[in-house]
Amino acid sequence: MRVPIIEMTGISKSFPGVIANEDITFKVYGGEIHALLGENGAGKSTLMSILAGLYQPDAGIIKVKGQTVKLRSPRHALGVGVGMIYQHLRLVDNFTVAENIALGVSGQGFFLNRVEIEAASQNLSDQFGMDINPRAKVNQLSLGEQQRVEILKMLYRGCDILILDEPTTVLTPRETRDLFKVLRLMAQQGKAIILITHKLNEVKAIADSITVLRRGRVVGSASNQDLTEQDLTRMMVDREIIPVKTDRHRKVREAVLEIKNLDVTGDQGHRAVQNASLTIERGEIMVIAGVAGNGQRELIEAIGGLRPIEAGQITLAAEDISALDVRARLRRGINMVPENRLGMGLVPNLSIMENGILRNYHNKDFYRGIFFDYKRMRDYVNKLVEKYNVQLADINHPVNYLSGGNLQKLLLAREISQAPQVLLASYPVRGLDIASAEAVFTILQEEREKGTAILLVLEDLEDVFRLADRIAVMFNGQINAVLDVEDTDVEEIGFLMLGMAGEKVNGAENQVN
Amino acid sequence: MVLRIRLIRREQESAVARMTVPVLSVLMALLFGGLFLFIYGAEAGETYIKMYQGALGTSYAFSETLVKAIPLMLAGLAVSLAFRMKLWNIGAEGQIYMGAFAASGIALSWGNQPAWFLITVMLLAGFLAGGLWGLITGVLRARWGVNETITTLLLNYVAILWVDSLVFGPWRDPQSLGFPLTPRFSMNAYLPTLGDSRVHIGLLIALLIAIIFYYLLNYTRWGYEIKVIGESHLAARYAGINVPRNIMLVMLISGGIAGIAGMIEVTGITHRLQSGISPGYGYTAIIVAWLGRLNPFAIIVVAFLMGALLVGGFAAQSSGIPFSIVLILQGLILFFLLAGEIFLKYRLKLSRRAAE
């Protein structure tokens, strides 16, 4: 029988208050791509951080290439051939690729042997089909290319076991395909690849073997062809996903928010939104579908009043609001859940209570005279937190003590309880585990039933089709189609997102004037 | 066997550490300072006792400490307001000079006006002059994003030299025998003192401002806005807060209060404008604000202790210890206090491990 290149047995690790890993057994063979699947908080990252030498396990044995090892540090793990690539890339922006690769490699002289490193990097890049120029500056590379530089770094250090933590989160579909090609080549040449992820379709597409974790334990481990997506979902969440049935037939069609020929400038001074027109109606969910970075954020911010518009008009219930500031728009019922939750939507170091009133702190109810009435403020936020089931220990704790799902619930609760006419939300379920995402979906659907006009930016097509009444596709700053969800399918939207004209676009309902 | 020292993050700040760390820090500083005194050939214990007596030992010493502490309190409060918004106003020194300049201008030209009127007008003038000096930076920052650290610092030199140019030039007292000072103000422009000490009502002004700040920052809408802006401009804009306007407003008030510190110094202590009217109060204020963790009442206490250190230093100097050693001591105290902060967040763990 083949000897696994990695064999972890009986691994347990707990942190104050949580058991992250419990009696985990995990085997990976050379030449395979092994997906480690699980919801957020299932213990994937902890397990891999143990393997990468970042954490020491409380119990258990790790064998690398048949040898029992105690991995004391990431450097030590690298020494036995285990390298981890984190979601947040760790490159020096204004160094070249070769300089980044050389950084931190021991056994070099005082001066960098540029030629040698560049040649070695080039060889590795060619060997695995990465197409990276070692002399390019990192800040000139796309995120996908930067990720490949990280992989090169690990290969240069002689890693033959590579762990990638959610590598596709920042990638476009095309870059994802390229990455997978590289990974496949590496596996063919005998490297072992461990992919931490919670995306089922990717797992099915690339993995040879799959191990599923749930609440710190292994639920199952098998080869890819022996498991269906349904099996995997069941293993991950221990309860079947119940599709929410909603009545999508709107009784009255009444336009609430109208955007006409909008131009908006982005942070880099480029025209991020171009001549965009869109109408959102009472009681509908309009979803903007598109690859991230095609102007969705700028459009939402322009409607919320956070970004000036260069040309065009925004009207709310027949009133021109283009020139109004954030507060005035809030008063008229435009609420917003921004993409940047912690930093824009919520203030990290302020308490949960203080965050609960961030958008209506000027409300007279919170004051007695000119002074805050903390009791009433506390009651208000307590009610909010209770109603939307935000799990917390103490309302006076800083908000960044909350988990991702609870942060988002708090944010949504705050915006919704101000009785919006229009609710804008960017990537409301990004990074959330399945249970939290479900809660967010339910909240949004309830809000639609109340008659609020909802404009969502979503990235996952599955979510788009679950929630949307209508879909607006954004590409390159333009809205190139607005389609009823009944009249379209995943394939067409996928095409439109990549800037290709779909078959049905011309004939379908099209609001672009 | 090798003894390994590791820092372990505390789950939360320890209340015990919060009490003991500052005390231990000061003791460490005195210990190290003793080393310097020993090298210099002085008796450390004796020097410290002399300093203590000079700063707090008698009621006169106590009042002198207060006199030094008042401008530190005001300037410390002034910069703490800007710091709350993460606006690095290090220009309190210049704002003090501008406040002193404006108050002196009023005192010198309207000396025959009644005292209540004169003092009110000087207070306003001091506030406005310091405030406008701060506002220059505020406008530059709010409108064009110019780094406030640099502008406030550079404006300090302008203000100090401006006052110098006046006291060396047109405002110089003809009877001053060439010293860079203006004529003495009329008695109407003297800030009332408390009892027959040199402690003046500036102390009450400082305490009043501390109380106002406490309520303003913790209980009002504006205090909330400042807090949000300090944490994140993005979040502030999202909350509908006008960030540029608040930057300007805070720089105006911060500069204004520093300006009052300058006004009380000329009208309460020197009774004339002179070169070097502030021996760096504006810079010490930055330390005061930080050590007080931007809490208004803590700033009052810290300013008092800094005043004591200053006055104690003078006492030591009078017994033959060079003032530079006093400055070393001040530096050491600050060094240990700031370095000691790490033990509020971390604890030491010693472990033995067999040598490999």
pLDDT in tens, A460-485: 777 888 899 999 999 888 998 999 98
Q: Are residues B225 and B343 in the same domain?
A: no
Q: Are residues B236 and B311 in the same domain?
A: yes
pLDDT in tens, B149-187: 999 999 999 999 999 999 998 998 888 788 899 989 988
CA distance A361 to chain B (A): 7
Q: What is the mean pLDDT of residues A106-125?
A: 82
Q: Are residues B16 and B156 in the same domain?
A: no
| Position with higher pLDDT, A249 vs B83 | B83
**Rounded distance between C-alpha atoms, residue B300 and residue B297, angstroms:** 5
Q: Residue B238: its chain A contacts at CB < 8 A?
A: 304, 306, 326, 336, 338, 344-345, 358-359
User: Does this complex have an ipTM over 0.90?
Assistant: no
Q: Residue A374: CA atoms inside 13 Å, Cβ hemisphere, count? A: 11
Q: Are residues B255 and B325 in the same domain?
A: no
pLDDT band at B85 (very low <50, low <70, confident <90, very high): very high
What's the pLDDT at B153? 95
Q: Are residues B163 and B252 in the same domain?
A: yes
pLDDT band at B84 (very low <50, low <70, confident <90, very high): very high
What's the pLDDT at A400? 85
Q: Are residues B173 and B135 in the same domain?
A: yes
Q: Are residues B87 and B110 in the same domain?
A: yes
B8 touches A: beta carbon within 8 Å? no
pLDDT in tens, B222-237: 999 999 999 999 999 9
SS3 A147: helix
What's the pLDDT at A243? 43
Contact assignment for A359 to B240 by CB distance below 8 Å: yes
B238 touches A: beta carbon within 8 Å? yes
pLDDT at A495 over 80: no
Spatial contact of B83 and B89, defined as CB atoms under 8 Å apart: yes
pLDDT at A261 over 50: yes
User: Tokens 């022996």, residue?
Assistant: A226
Is B154 part of any domain? yes
Is B338 part of any domain? yes
Q: Are residues B260 and B342 in the same domain?
A: no
Is B50 part of any domain? no
Residues of chain B numbered 168-227 and touching chain A (CB < 8 Å): 215, 218-221, 224, 227
Superfamily of domain A6-91+158-237, CATH level 4 = P-loop containing nucleotide triphosphate hydrolases (3.40.50.300)
Contact assignment for A370 to B220 by CB distance below 8 Å: yes
Chain pair A-B, CB pairs under 8 angstroms? 60
Q: Are residues B221 and B120 in the same domain?
A: yes
pLDDT at A208 over 90: yes
**Rounded distance between C-alpha atoms, residue A312 and residue B168, angstroms:** 61
Strand order in the sheet with A59-64: A18-28, A6-15, A59-64, A67-69
pLDDT in tens, A283-337: 999 999 887 778 899 999 999 999 999 999 999 998 999 999 999 999 999 999 9
pLDDT band at A448 (very low <50, low <70, confident <90, very high): very high
Contact assignment for A326 to B228 by CB distance below 8 Å: no
**Rounded distance between C-alpha atoms, residue A336 and residue A303, angstroms:** 9
What's the pLDDT at A1? 60
pLDDT band at A17 (very low <50, low <70, confident <90, very high): low
Sign of the dihedral defined by the CA atoms of residues A98, A101, A104, A105, in that order: negative
CA distance A52 to chain B (A): 21
Joined together, the tokens standing for residue B185 give: 């103000």
Give the nearest partner residue to B227 out of A304, A350, A367, using CB atoms.
Answer: A350
Domain ranges in chain A with CATH number 3.40.50.300: 6-91+158-237, 255-497
Q: Are residues B231 and B350 in the same domain?
A: no
Q: Residue A15: its chain B contacts at CB < 8 A?
A: none
Residues of chain A numbered 307-346 and touching chain B (CB < 8 Å): 325-327, 330, 336, 338, 340, 343-346
Is B11 part of any domain? yes
pLDDT band at B82 (very low <50, low <70, confident <90, very high): very high
pLDDT at A18 over 80: no
What's the pLDDT at B11? 66
Question: A212-243 b/e with 16+ CB inside 10 Å = b?
Answer: bbbebebbbbeebeebeeeebbbbbbeeeeee
What's the pLDDT at A240? 42
User: CATH: 2.60.40.2140, 3.30.2080.10, 3.40.50.300, 3.40.1180.10. Which one for A255-497?
Assistant: 3.40.50.300
pLDDT at A511 over 50: no
**Rounded distance between C-alpha atoms, residue A365 and residue B95, angstroms:** 39
pLDDT at B102 over 50: yes
Is B49 part of any domain? no
CA max distance for chain B: 85
Residues of chain A numbered 343-362 and touching chain B (CB < 8 Å): 343-350, 354, 358-359, 361-362
Joined together, the tokens standing for residue B196 give: 């027959």
Spatial contact of A34 and A195, defined as CB atoms under 8 Å apart: yes
* pLDDT mean across residues, chain B: 90
pLDDT band at B42 (very low <50, low <70, confident <90, very high): confident
Contact assignment for A343 to B234 by CB distance below 8 Å: yes
Contact assignment for A343 to B221 by CB distance below 8 Å: no
Is B337 part of any domain? yes
Q: Which of A332-336, B96-100, B314-318 has the lowest mean pLDDT?
A: B314-318
**How many domains, in total, are found in chain B?**
2
pLDDT band at A509 (very low <50, low <70, confident <90, very high): very low
Give the nearest partner residue to A306 out of B219, B232, B238, using CB atoms.
Answer: B238
Q: Which residues pair with A309 in a beta bridge?
A: A264
* pLDDT mean across residues, chain A: 86
What's the pLDDT at B148? 95
Q: What is the mean pLDDT of residues B124-134?
A: 97
What is the H or E stretch that residue B335 is in? helix B323-340
Q: Could you list the residue range(s) of the whole structural domain that residue B87 is in? A: 66-320
Q: Are residues B144 and B260 in the same domain?
A: yes
What's the pLDDT at A16? 67
What's the pLDDT at A412? 94
Is B51 part of any domain? no
Main-chain phi, psi angles of B88, to 5 degrees: -85, 80
Give the nearest partner residue to B238 out of A344, A349, A361, using CB atoms.
Answer: A344
Q: Residue A327: its chain B contacts at CB < 8 A?
A: 240
Give the nearest partner residue to A362 out of B11, B221, B231, using CB atoms.
Answer: B221
Contact assignment for A358 to B228 by CB distance below 8 Å: yes
What's the pLDDT at A252? 67
- Given the DSSP bridges, would you call strands A255-265 and B2-9 parallel, antiparallel or unpaired? unpaired
Q: What is the mean pLDDT of residues A348-354?
A: 93
CA distance A344 to chain B (A): 4
Contact assignment for A358 to B238 by CB distance below 8 Å: yes
Contact assignment for A340 to B234 by CB distance below 8 Å: yes
A425 touches B: beta carbon within 8 Å? no
CA distance A327 to chain B (A): 5
Q: Are residues B84 and B23 in the same domain?
A: no
pLDDT in tens, B247-274: 999 999 999 999 999 999 999 999 999 9
Is B282 part of any domain? yes
pLDDT at A506 over 50: no
Contact assignment for B234 to A367 by CB distance below 8 Å: no
